[in-house]
Amino acid sequence: MQELFKAAVERGASDIHIKAGDFMRARVHGELQPLTQQKLTVDQVKGIALQLIPFQEDKDNFDKLLDYDCSWGIPGVGRFRVNIMKQRGSPMIVLRAIPIEIPSVEDLGLPPIINKIAAADRGMILVTGVTGSGKSSTMAAMINWINRNKQVHVVTLENPIEFLHRDNKSSITQRDIGTDTDSFDSGLRSVLRQDPDVILIGEMRDKITIETALKAAETGHLVISTLHTKNAVQTLSRIIAVFEPSEQEMIRVRLSESLQAVISQRLVARRTGGRVAAMEVMLVTSTIRDCIRDHERMEEVGDLIEEGREHYGSQSFDQHLMELVKDGTVDFEIAKAAANNPADFDLKMNMFGDPRSQRAGDAPVADEMSGLMGD
């Protein structure tokens, strides 16, 4: 089993699927490929699952487990985020590969502005995107920058812990939900008593988490977290909609004062194989703060992101996708399909000449995401 996992990681697999009645499969460059020639039995999948579960009590109650999260590692290969579930009454396992080495912004080929965002002393930074878009890797790269450049205390609340950070200039405390603290709620309630400078929350799941994160940002801490939203405007709307109508005006004010940036990302296929992150980066300027406070001006945010590219370093998805097409990293049709507004993207690209005539350039090695970017 370990040799199979090692081979999958060496091929650049981001996920491994293990299901009774099917081949073992690996997601390589976004596509599921078989790893085995024979289909797995229920007993084989159960046997693998029991090797991955860390606690004897959970192993003893395996048949009662419906959804179970943990982490697992192979020395010299890497760590995996593990989800064990039932499907049609039989066990299934999905493992997300996590590299041993903590990636940097440069390793991941992300815009340099991400390092500047990580340098913030306080406020809230949100990294958003669908499952599998690389949010965890981007947050790890930001913590990596902080760890190499600032003398601060970083506390993470994760379910489960993914990247393992070693103390450098910073002291990093990583707490696993279910092992080191009962829940996100209890972990967040106690985190402010642990003298943190930076707080990483694996996911803002509900009203309580959002409220506590806002409170931490308001009291002088830097809070980094994620949401499953596709762009900055949807992120703002989603946070506000969690609260009752009577609370929303105050939440708009609090959010406008605390939010520093929203980084939204999606992975797109590179011309030379693998995937690269297309990113929307919203830096919260004074004008955008005004728009957050006034719901009638929220529609202006998208234009303000594009207008702020030269002066602030912000960028929309379409601006970044245009750049990826023009430098030969991504095919026009792939970029158009990923754009917020494909028709508008087509029109803008044609203003710079026929995008279909773009030649593939030498894409930088750092743009290769398949082996580095996880959820």
81 sits in which H/E element: strand 78-87
- Which of 135-139, 149-153, 337-341 is least confident? 337-341
Which residues have C-beta within 8 Å of that of residue 334, sequence separation ≥ 6?
268, 269
Give me the pLDDT at residue 177, please. 87
- In this structure, the strands spanning 25-28 and 31-34 are antiparallel
For residue 370, pLDDT over 50 is answered with no
30 band by pLDDT with thresholds 50, 70 and 90? confident
Which pLDDT belongs to residue 359? 42
pLDDT at 358 exceeding the cut of 70: no
The stretch 244-251 carries a mean pLDDT of: 96
Q: Please name the residue ranges forming H helices in 150-277.
A: 184-191, 207-218, 232-241, 245-258
- In angstroms, the CA 313 to CA 319 distance is 12
Give the position of tokens 């995401």. 369
Give residue for tokens 């590969």: 97
- For residue 96, the number of C-alpha atoms closer than 13 Å in the C-beta half-sphere is 23
Report the range of poorest mean pLDDT among 83-87, 125-129, 334-338, 363-367: 363-367
Of the pLDDT bands very low, low, confident and very high (cuts 50, 70, 90), residue 373 is low
Instruction: Indicate whether 28 pLDDT > 60.
Output: yes
Phi, psi of 30 (to 5 degrees): 90, -5
pLDDT in tens, 216-229: 999 999 999 999 99
> Which spans in 102-231 are helix H?
105-108, 113-118, 135-149, 184-191, 207-218
pLDDT at 52: 95
User: pTM value?
Assistant: 0.84
- Walk across the sheet containing 31-34 and list its strands: 31-34, 25-28, 13-19, 90-98, 78-87, 67-74
Q: In this predicted structure, what is the pLDDT of residue 352?
A: 66
| 166-170, 182-186, 284-288, 336-340: segment of lowest average pLDDT | 182-186
3-state secondary structure at position 342: helix
